[in-house]
Every structure is written in structure tokens, then in C-alpha cells.
Amino acid sequence: MIRFDQVSFGYDRGPLVLEGVTLHVEPGSFHFVVGASGAGKTSLLRLLYLGAKPTAGRVVLAGRDVARLSRRERAHLRRRIGVVFQDYRLFENLTVFENVALPLRIAGETEEEVRDKANELLSWVGLAEALDSYPPSLSGGEQQRVAVARAVITNPDLLIADEPTGNLDDRMAERLLRLFDELHRVGTTVLIATHNEQLVRRLGHPQLRVGDGQVVAEGPHGPPPFAD
Amino acid sequence: MVSAFSSSASLPLGRDPARGYLLGVTGFLVLLLTLTALTAIYLEDVAGGWRRSVAAQATLLLPPEASARDQARTVDALLDALRNARGIVAADVLSREKTAALLSPWLGDSAEDPSLPLPLLVAIHLDPEAIDWPALRRTVAGIAPTAQLDDHSDWVGRLLSFAGWLQGMAGAMALLVVLCSIGTVIFITRAGLAVHREPIEMLHLMGAEDRFVARQFEQRVGEPLLLGSLAGVLLALVLLALVALALRPSTGSGLFGPLPAPPLMALLVPFLLPVLTTAVGRMTAYWTVLRTLARLP
């Protein structure tokens, strides 16, 4: 699913955040992205969701060298990637329903499909009563759930989440992780950036540890928690 | 949090101060465009009418002679020759009253003084395709060497040249207004792209193609463009109606008679301009977005 060949990345003329990273992530795998603050986790994720171009090296996603893609091909590849941003990045002038429905509308789904899928997913994340609310009127946790629903509504091949459980209570965090696990089971490649060492240990998935400009793959801590 | 949409899959340009600006500027520019377009069309029509009317007319001026009998004999001979000449449809002597009325703007009431010697005027109606001007001039000179045959070409030529110059100015102004309108839409679209940089980036990250974003801008400029241009056209029509009303008493008399009714093309302008302005503006916004986004990494 993901391959980095000697990838370096830095902002403008600043020092390189990632330097000569070589990485391979199998399709359908589940990884935590861990590392200290400022280590380069967000930079790694940006490269993965095509939010930035590498300073050097080659990024291959779904078998495609992203540097060789046309703008149209990049757009279509991005539709296969769901992203949960740490700051949610919801459209505050759109209702909850419209925020969640937007990726489907961009993909050209029919209004009927959009309505069905968005309603179902919003019910699942416990926001069925908030369809017509606007994000500024929601709590941080509710906004985070909207962001998650928006990221997964297209059943993406690659799901990238940056601290997705940060503002959730234990019960909702558990439900969310189950959702990620279900997506993983049906073949979605999942990458979750987190500081939550307890979560990482509990779920036991392999990690990509970011630090000193490098990304190192580490083995799982234990069996998947939702194996049954 | 991304500040973005006001309705489903639409950027919030309706809430921008630029919307009011676009509406106002469009209204003003379309007002100018309507005035210049209608002026150009009307001038073209009026000039065409003059050209056609004058081409079928000529005037023969016979200076007053000392003997009325001699003058009558000369006039009879001239009328006889004219009526038998090729291409002449009719030739009639203008009555003294009509001649005096024509000269009254210059002579005032004294034009009606019977003791004032007035030239005799012969109004000639002709077929411009059949007339042989050199032969006619020779005939007239043979009968009355002092008579002046005026085909009006010199005077009308100057008038048409002036009308053409006015039309050229109107055309140049219309072009300038169109360019200004396009420039305004480009400016506002680029400003909108800068203001909405964050939501646009987010749309791209969700897989939106540039065309998707361009369509949002295209739709958003459409409404103020249409409303602004309708207001501009309406205001222009009101102004033109007031001008026509103000000019009516003075144009009812004089050399050309009352102003002709507006041509069909002029009647179409109020309908066509808002549609064309909106279409061109929308296309401009669409292509501006595509061109601007294509330059982004």
C-alpha cells in the first residue's frame, strides 16, 4: 500500500524533518505512528495523504508514484484516503450531515446514497440527533466524531488518523477503535498517530516510530484486542 | 476549524463583502455598456436611414432673378428637363411658404417678408441606382448656369463621418467596459481563492478536482452578476427614456423629422446583455480558478 524510497522532507529552507526514510507498509495492515512531539509524525502523515511533496525520494501509494500523477489522478487517489485531522478541520458553515456527506458528493455519489450512508454513519457515531447542527455548536468530542465519520464514509483503502481519540470519553474511544478495527478487517490500511502509549499497548498493533528523521517499524505488542 | 460553506458543497462567497462589490461594479459597468451599445446601434440605424434617404434626394437651388417671368420660364424648362431625365422620380418646386419655413431658423420672421427675394428650391426625388449625375449636371447647367444642384453628399458625408466617429467611440468604450468587467471578475475570483485557501485545500485533500472548486466559484459569481446586470440595464433604460422624453420636442421638427423608432437589435440588448454578462462572468471565474489552481503544487 505504502512505499517510501529514501524520502526526505523539510519545510521551506528549514532542516529536514525526515531524512532518507525507506518504508514499506503492507495493504490491509494496521499501524500506530508513535514518537515524541515534533519528531515528524505529522510530516509523515502529510506525505501519506498527499498534503505535501517530499523534498527528495519517492513516495509510492497503491502502486502509484505520487510524483508522476496528474492533478486529476492525485484527486482520485485522495478519494481512496480518509483522514482524521487532529484539529478536525470541519467546515463550520456546513451542517454535521453536510460535512459527513461532502466526500461522497465530491466522489459523485447519488443523493440517495449520500443520504443513506451519511445517516447510517452518523447514527453509528451517536450523532443522529445532531444532523442539522453546525460544528461550532458541538463539543470537542462530537466534532471529533464528525471528523471520523467524514473520514470513513467512503470506505477508504487507507485511513490516516491523527490523535483520533484525544477528545473522546472511554466508551466512545472504544467504539471508535472497534470501527477502525472493522475497517482494518475488511482490508483498509489503518495508520493512527497517537501519544497514547496505553492505547498502543492495549491494541497491540505494530508501530512506526518516528524520531531523529527516521521511521522505524516495530513489532506488535500483543494480539489484536477485537480478534473475536 | 475550516471556515467554509454556506450550503451543500458550496463555498461561502455569498457572505463575502466581495459579493456586494461585484454586484455594484457589475451594475455600473452594465449601465455603461447598455448606454454605449444602444447608442452605437441607434446611431448605426439613424445613419443608415440618413444614407438611404439622402441617396434618393437632391435639391436644385435657383437664385432669385430680376424678372419673375424669366424665372418662371427657367423653372418650367428645368422641371421639364428634370422630369424627362433618367432616374428622376419626381421634381417639385417648393412653395415660398415652405422655403421661408426652411430658412426661418436663420432669418427668423423676416423670412416671411414677401419683399425678401428668396431662391427657388426644387425638391428632386430620384432612383439612386438609375441616376446619371454628370448628364443631369450638364442638363441643368445648360438651362440655368447659376443653378446649384446639391446631391447632399458633402454635407451627409460629414454627418456620417461624425456618426461613424461616435460609433467608434461607443465601440471602444463598450470594449473597455467588457474588459473591465472581465478584469473585475478575475480580481474577485482570485481574492476569493486567497480568502478560501484553507477550505479549498481541504476539498482537494478529500479528492475534489479543480473543476469541482471552479464550479463553486462559477455558481457563486452567477447570482451577483445577473442581479447587477439586470439593475444596470434597468437603470440605463430609465435614463434613456428620460433623455428621449427631454429630446422629443426639439426632434419633432427640423431637417430629419422625428427620431425613428429603436431598431430590433436595440430592443434585444436589454435581454441579451444580462445573459451575456452573466455567462461571460461565470466562464471567466471558472477559468480563473482552473488556471490559478493549476499553478499550485
Q: What's the confidence (pLDDT) of residue B250?
A: 55
Mean pLDDT to the nearest integer, B182-191:
91
Q: Are A9 and A16 in contact (CB under 8 A)?
A: yes
pLDDT digit string, tens, across residues B3-29: 443 444 445 444 667 888 899 999 999
Sort strands B57-62 and B88-93 into parallel, antiparallel or unpaired. Answer: unpaired
Q: What's the confidence (pLDDT) of residue A65?
A: 93
> What's the CA dihedral at B125, B130, B133, B136 to 10 degrees?
-70
> Which residues 6+ apart lie within 8 Å of B207 measured at CB?
A75, A76, A77, A78, A79, A80, A103, A106, A107
Nearest to A93 among B12, B202, B204 (CB): B12
Task: Enumerate the residues of chain B whose CB falls inside 8 A of the CB of residue A78.
Answer: 204-207
Write down the residue that cell numbers 451599445 correspond to: B37
Q: Which neighbouring-strand residues pair with B124?
A: B58, B91
Nearest to A51 among B3, B8, B205 (CB): B205
User: To which H or E segment does residue A5 belong?
Assistant: strand A2-10
Global pTM exceeds 0.95: no
Q: What's the confidence (pLDDT) of residue B258?
A: 56
Query: What percentage of chain B has pLDDT greater than the value 70?
Result: 89
Longest Cα–Cα distance in chain B: 103
pLDDT digit string, tens, across residues A34-79: 988 888 899 999 999 999 999 999 999 988 999 999 999 999 999 9
**Phi and psi, residue A38, nearest 5°:** 80, 5
Residue of chain B minimizing CA distance to A87: B1
DSSP tag of A135: G
How far off is chain A from B179, nearest CA to CA, in Å? Answer: 30
CA angle B153, B158, B161 (to 5 degrees): 115
Task: Enumerate the residues of chain A whose CB falls inside 8 A of the CB of residue B206.
Answer: 78-79, 102-103, 106
How far off is chain B from A7, nearest CA to CA, in Å? Answer: 18
Q: Are B72 and B202 in contact (CB under 8 A)?
A: no
Q: How far apart are CA A167 and CA B220, in angstroms?
A: 36
Is A78 within 8 Å of B206 when comparing Cβ atoms? yes
How far off is chain A from B226, nearest CA to CA, in Å? Answer: 25
Q: How far apart are CA A166 and CA A87, in angstroms?
A: 10
Q: What's the confidence (pLDDT) of residue B249?
A: 60
Residue B290 three-state SS: helix
**ipTM score:** 0.88
Write down the residue that cell numbers 441643368 correspond to: B140
Q: Inform me whether the pLDDT recorded for B77 exceeds 50.
A: yes
Using the Cα atoms of residue B15, residue B18, residue B24 and residue B28 in order, give the sign of their dihedral. negative
Mean pLDDT to the nearest integer, B126-155:
86
Task: Enumerate the residues of chain B whose CB falls inside 8 A of the CB of residue A90.
Answer: 1-2
Task: Enumerate the residues of chain B whose CB falls inside 8 A of the CB of residue A136.
Answer: 1
Q: Are B27 and B229 in contact (CB under 8 A)?
A: yes
Residue A209 three-state SS: strand
Q: What's the confidence (pLDDT) of residue A138?
A: 93
Mean pLDDT to the nearest integer, A10-18:
87
Write down the residue that cell numbers 480568502 correspond to: B195
Residue B211: closest CA among B104, B285, B117: B285
Task: Enumerate the residues of chain B whose CB falls inside 8 A of the CB of residue A46.
Answer: none
Mean pLDDT to the nearest integer, A14-33:
91
Residue B14: closest CA among B230, B223, B278: B223
Q: Inform me whether the pLDDT recorded for A134 exceeds 90.
A: yes
Is A93 within 8 Å of B212 when comparing Cβ atoms? no
Burial of B250 (0-12, 13-18, 19+ CB in 10 A): exposed
Which three cell numbers, joined as nine digits, stand for B182?
472581465
pLDDT digit string, tens, across residues A140-176: 888 988 999 999 999 999 999 998 887 777 777 777 8
Q: Are A9 and A43 in contact (CB under 8 A)?
A: yes
CA angle A78, A82, A87 (to 5 degrees): 110
Task: Enumerate the residues of chain A whose CB falls inside 8 A of the CB of residue B4.
Answer: 91-94
Nearest to A89 among B9, B202, B204 (CB): B202
Q: How far apart are CA A162 and CA A140, in angstroms?
A: 15
Which three cell numbers, joined as nine digits, stand for A199?
492505547
Q: How far apart are CA B137 and CA B90, in angstroms?
A: 16
pLDDT digit string, tens, across residues B96-111: 888 888 878 787 777 7
DSSP B59-106: EEEE---S-HHHHHHHHHHHHHHHHHSTTEEEEEEPPHHHHHHHHHHH
Judged by phi (left if over 0) then psi (alpha if -120 to 50, else beta), residue B48 lies in alpha
Q: How far apart are CA A20 and CA B269, in angstroms?
A: 65
DSSP A49-74: TTSS--SEEEEEETTEEGGG--HHHH
Is B209 within 8 Å of A75 when comparing Cβ atoms? yes
Residue A213 three-state SS: coil
Using the Cα atoms of residue B197, residue B200, residue B206 and residue B208 in order, give the sign of their dihedral. negative
User: To which H or E segment does residue B198 belong?
Assistant: helix B197-205
